[in-house]
Chain A
């Protein structure tokens, strides 16, 4: 059963209207990645997006971030048409966010330094964030001296210090082991609950999507992927992501969404095998 998303206020934080994205293949053919995507994410909403590999999740994210422009349709942020880079967003990537040639504190304070904050103020604020993500004492370390989980904490602090209204996350935790991942997910939820940022969270892991989100979007298999399902997750907050998986309601939601997702994964798998 697809639940309709409730009425949103007039200008949602993210608003994709009839968005289609095409790429020109080297062979000269046009490759349609996304077709007619209509998606609204409200202010403060935690929205996850799942779908088979290669369906266009990262592409959707680059449209919202403003790295790419849509081929058709438009991207609106808070009711304004997005031109160029989205200044209200920051992004935690799957691989690295931290600049290897900068220390932790230089990395975290970068966003403030770029917009002209004095070094003193920026460092003071950075220290606060470093402490918040549990990295106190590592200010002077370089990223390669940190573990993968610690680098993700740096990435979070770096992204959140500028108080973005939109937090984009592209499989940010998928490289972490399961315990670190739960820890990071809980921390993300905690920090997010203190802010009013909208989160656009890409993941392969349906459980992760349900555990974290207010809403889970299922994309169809590519090419020309579009939205297949839009599920509201009304689990109680605050949540503990490690434990919420045992909740009865969680299992029901999981089954429901998985039914949708499974078909798409099969399609994607079949076309990959035929290729």
Chain B
């Protein structure tokens, strides 16, 4: 009798589990098919209209020709040399600008966050520089640093720096006062306070700023390339634009967004690694 009931309930549990699993996968299938339908609707109609000349393919291109263009670039190279050269250049500029911007931003944010005097003295200048639309600095940087990589890196740094700076500053300022006091009572000196309380607490803020700041580093590189350069994805787009090659412009855009997505993914990985305590769930 006893055994019978347990068997029954176990069976019941099994069926219920199965039901729940089926329901979950149904939802997944529904979402996926909706996504596919929307994708087909957008790109299908684009392709269709441009194929039937309802929209001018010269101005709007079409998905298939964009894909074709990218494949061609990958296999045969662009009119400006192999694709990977441009890709590597843009990527290098972005990463270097990102790394420098982040390091400077964290150092400055930490220093001003910790030191009221520094914050009072330099705060207004930072506000002022931040209010400036920094893209206008591109011509200046090109005059100063030339058409090569340094001018793009400089532009990327000015864009990333402020985002990281403000987040690091805020992160340091927002440290829970009780936690600080607690650590001080437990005997932490200045260095230990930074190590055990302030930095881990600010890290959440800093890491969350990395998503957008990588995007801005990329903007810096591409805008710099538009304005004056001899290599890079931005240069490629500018060339395509100069030749009225709409397809080339779109293809460059696709490559850029793929790069940005990949970087976002990498930053997310970094985030889970460094603030594991937030993500651990039982």
Q: Which residues of A contact B (CB under 8 A)?
A: 65, 67, 85-87, 89-91, 93, 95-97, 99-103, 110-111, 114-115, 142, 144-145, 158-159, 162
* Cα distance A15–B159 in the bound complex, in angstroms: 55
Bound CA span A210–B233, Å: 75
A169 vs chain B, min Cβ distance (A): 12
B196 within 8 A of A: yes
Given contacts A93-B182, A110-B196, A162-B186, contact A145 B282 (CB under 8 A): yes
Query: Which residues of B69-95 have CB atoms within 8 Å of chain A's CB atoms?
Result: none
Identify 9 new A-B residue pairs, CB closer than 8 A, beyond the known A67-B181, A110-B183: A96-B179, A97-B178, A97-B182, A99-B179, A100-B278, A111-B186, A114-B192, A115-B187, A145-B280
CB atoms of B192 and A101 under 8 A apart:
no
Give chain B residues whose Cβ lies under 8 Å from the Cβ of A110: 183, 186, 196
How many B residues are at the interface, by size bracket?
20 to 34
Q: Which residue of chain A is the closest to B187 with respect to CB atoms? A: A114
Q: How far is the CB of B202 from chain A (nearest CB, A)?
A: 11
Bound-state Cα–Cα, A147 to B187, Å: 27
Chain A residue with the shortest CB-CB distance to B176: A96
Question: Contact between B186 and A65 (Cβ–Cβ < 8 Å)?
Answer: no
Is B104 part of the contact surface with A, judged by Cβ < 8 Å?
Answer: no
Give the CA-CA distance A115 to B187 in the complex, in Å: 7
Q: Which residue of A lies closest to B274 (CB)?
A: A101
Rounded to whole angstroms, the CA-CA distance of A129 and B185 in the bound complex is 19
Q: Is the CB of B185 within 8 A of A86?
A: yes
Residues of B within 8 A of A101 (CB): 200-201, 275, 277
Is A142 in contact with B186, judged by CB distance below 8 angstroms? no
- The answer on a CB contact under 8 Å between A85 and B178 is no
Question: When the two chains form their complex, are residues B186 and A99 in contact, meaning their CB atoms are under 8 A apart?
Answer: no
* Residues of chain B at the chain A interface (Cβ within 8 Å): 176, 178-179, 181-189, 192, 196-197, 200-201, 275, 277-278, 280-282
* Pairwise interchain contact A90-B185, C-beta atoms closer than 8 A: yes
**What residues of chain A lie closer than 8 Å to B176, measured between beta carbons?**
95-96
Q: How many angstroms from the CA of A103 to the CA of B277 in the assembled complex?
A: 8
Q: In the bound complex, what is the Cα–Cα distance between A118 and B189 (angstroms)?
A: 17
Q: Which residues of B contact A95 (CB under 8 A)?
A: 176, 178
Q: Given known contacts A99-B200, A114-B192, A145-B282, is B182 in contact with A85 (CB within 8 Å)?
A: no
Please measure, in the bound complex, the distance between the C-alpha atom of A91 and the C-alpha atom of B185, giving whole angstroms: 7
Q: With A and B bound together, what is the CA distance between A159 and B277 in angstroms? A: 22
Bound-state Cα–Cα, A10 to B114, Å = 41
Known: A142-B277, A162-B186. A96 touches B197 (CB 8 A): no
| B275→A114 contact, CB < 8 A | no
**Contact (Cβ within 8 A) A99 B197:** yes
Of B178, B186, B188, B192, which is in contact with the most chain A CB atoms at under 10 Å from its CB?
Answer: B186
Nearest 6 pairs of A and B residues by beta carbon: A111-B186, A101-B200, A114-B187, A93-B178, A101-B277, A142-B277
Q: Are B187 and A162 in contact (CB under 8 A)?
A: yes
- Find chain A residues with CB under 8 A from B186 CB: 90, 110-111, 114, 158-159, 162
Nearest residue, chain A, Cβ from B178: A93
6 contacts between A and B (CB under 8 A): A91-B181, A93-B182, A97-B182, A101-B201, A101-B275, A114-B188
Contacts of B179 in A (CB 8 A): 96-97, 99
Contact B184 A85 (CB under 8 A): yes
Q: Which of chain B's residues has its CB closest to A140's CB?
A: B280
Given A93-B178, A114-B192: A142 and B280 interface contact (C-beta under 8 Å): yes
Nearest-neighbor residue (CB-CB) of B204 within chain A: A101
Question: Which residue on A lies nearest to B189, using beta carbons?
Answer: A114
Which residue of A is nearest B281, CB measured? A145
A100–B277 contact, CB under 8 A? yes
